[in-house]
Structure 1
Amino acid sequence: MTHAKPLPSYLVQRFHGWRATTFSENKAWYRRLADEGQRPRAMIISCCDSRVHVTAIFGADQGEFFIHRNIANLVPPYEPDGNQHGTSAAIEYAVTALKVAHIVIVGHSNCGGVRGCHDMCSGHAPELEEKSSFVGRWMDLLRPGYERVKDIADEGERIRALEKQAILVSLDNLMTFPFVEEAVKANKLTLHGLWNDIGDGGLEQYTPEDGTFKPI
């Protein structure tokens, strides 16, 4: 394999800085994690967006969250068909092996994936309609959400509503996994939906009682 290159120097410098400070000051904790394995209390499913930093938002320590990131924080429905499913595999491992107590879907403002779905579904992104578009085929998961918000007149409000639909679609799809449904019904697992406004640092949570998102 000849195409792999050494890390950029700025990343090497940051690594040495981390090892000399954070790691050095917490060697016993890192050794414990290595020897005893991970016991995360929650699984976080968030967007790949570099602006969404869930460990910083919650002040989480190493070993506290089992994190999976994908485009637009989407969960596909339970479809065991022999194909490779990274998100489904992560959910299975979190629930059946790690026995997490919570699964938290974290969506956010100004999501490029959600915007792509909006443009594709409204006929303004033909490139995403191509069968060869990985992003387009992934964002097909959000088409039901688009159908629910497409009649909102203001485009900005429509896209923001679609960002929250991505969370709701994922919550619904989680319950199609038999092991998730079983754990939820046994009160061993709770599901949560959050939306983060990356511009003002706000966080809203979904309240099923009235079907709205409310500030935390």
Structure 2
Amino acid sequence: MAHIPDSLLAGYRNFMNGRYASESGRYRALAREGQTPETMVIACCDSRAAPEAIFDAGPGELFVVRNVANLVPPYEPDGEFHSTSAALEFAVQSLKVKNIVVMGHGRCGGIGAALNVNAAPLSPGDFIGKWMSLIAPAAETVSGSTLMTQSERQTALERISIRYSIANLRTFPCVSILEGKGRLTLSGAWFDISSGELWVMNRATGDFERPEEKA
């Protein structure tokens, strides 16, 4: 007998009676015509920071890839398995998105793991440890600072990692070429789970700023 958690079935029923009922025409059009999102969001797996909810996005509006700590690895065409790189390739080359947003968030467990250099692996494979080694140089620098509190170090690395990921995006030829032609924009954002605030990276300085509210 097929089974999934009751809470998911209850949520599905609410979805069918609510959002799907009100947007069924859009869903049918998307099924018939395919997706054409203009924005890709690279976000964290964290259940508290879902891009579709944060940006109030409807079906077909965002192409989202989520991984631990919203990291982008550098371009490595080595024949291995690269899920984030595959999603990026599809978004840029096939869907032809116009924007890529790397969105980090506060209290990120992956970032916390990167800062805890003495933590034991969660399994013999140490998959999280290997993944978070993408930002090891920054993590070592930040974790060694005695001038910041633990929470300040956490926030600092969360935001630094976003800049790292954007730099790694530019190692992909398809990204750097299109950005150079003005056909693709790269942005960074950081979401504060506690307050709901969204901070956006200034492309010129790398600083994170609160966007101005429009009347």
Relative to the length of structure 1, the TM-score reads 0.91
Q: In structure 1, how many angstroms separate the alpha carbons of the residues matched to 2:174 and 2:180?
A: 10
- Closer, same or farther in 2 for the Cα pair 1:172/1:148, shift >3 Å? farther
Name 1:125's counterpart in structure 2: 119
1:126 Cα deviation (Å)? 3.6
1:137 paired residue among 130, 133, 137:
130
CA contact (8 A) 2:103 2:190 kept: yes
Name 2:97's counterpart in structure 1: 100
1:34 Cα deviation (Å)? 0.3
Q: In structure 2, how many angstroms separate the alpha carbons of the residues matched to 1:10 and 1:131?
A: 32
Q: In structure 1, how many angstroms separate the alpha carbons of the residues matched to 2:67 and 2:14?
A: 29
Q: In structure 2, how many angstroms separate the alpha carbons of the residues matched to 1:41 and 1:67?
A: 11
Of 92-101 and 144-153, deviating more is: 144-153
Name 1:198's counterpart in structure 2: 193
2:177 paired residue among 178, 182, 186:
182
Counterpart amino acid of residue 177 in structure 1: F
- Closer, same or farther in 2 for the Cα pair 1:5/1:135, shift >3 Å? farther
Displaced runs of 4 or more, over 3 A = none
Q: In structure 2, how many angstroms separate the alpha carbons of the residues matched to 1:181 and 1:131?
A: 37
Counterpart amino acid of residue 18 in structure 1: F
How many residues are treated as equivalent by the alignment? 209
Unaligned residue ranges in structure 1 (runs of 5+): none
Find the residue that maps to 1:205 and give its secondary structure. Answer: strand
C-alpha RMSD of matched pairs (Å)? 1.6
What aligned pairs does 1:78-97 form with structure 2 within 5 A after superposition?
78-97=75-94
CA contact (8 A) 1:194 1:206 kept: yes
Find the residue that maps to 1:26 and give its secondary structure. Answer: helix
Name 2:27's counterpart in structure 1: 30
Unaligned residue ranges in structure 2 (runs of 5+): none
Name 1:209's counterpart in structure 2: 204
1:57 Cα deviation (Å)? 1.6
State the Cα deviation string for residues 36-61 of structure 1 (Å, max 9, x = none).
Answer: 00000100000000000211221111
Counterpart amino acid of residue 197 in structure 1: D
Q: In structure 1, how many angstroms separate the alpha carbons of the residues matched to 2:194 and 2:88?
A: 29
CA contact (8 A) 1:152 1:158 kept: no
1:20 Cα deviation (Å)? 2.2
1:207 Cα deviation (Å)? 1.1
State the Cα deviation string for residues 111-156 of structure 1 (Å, max 9, x = none).
Answer: 0000000002xxx21436x872000000000113224434352222
Identity, in percent, stands at 43
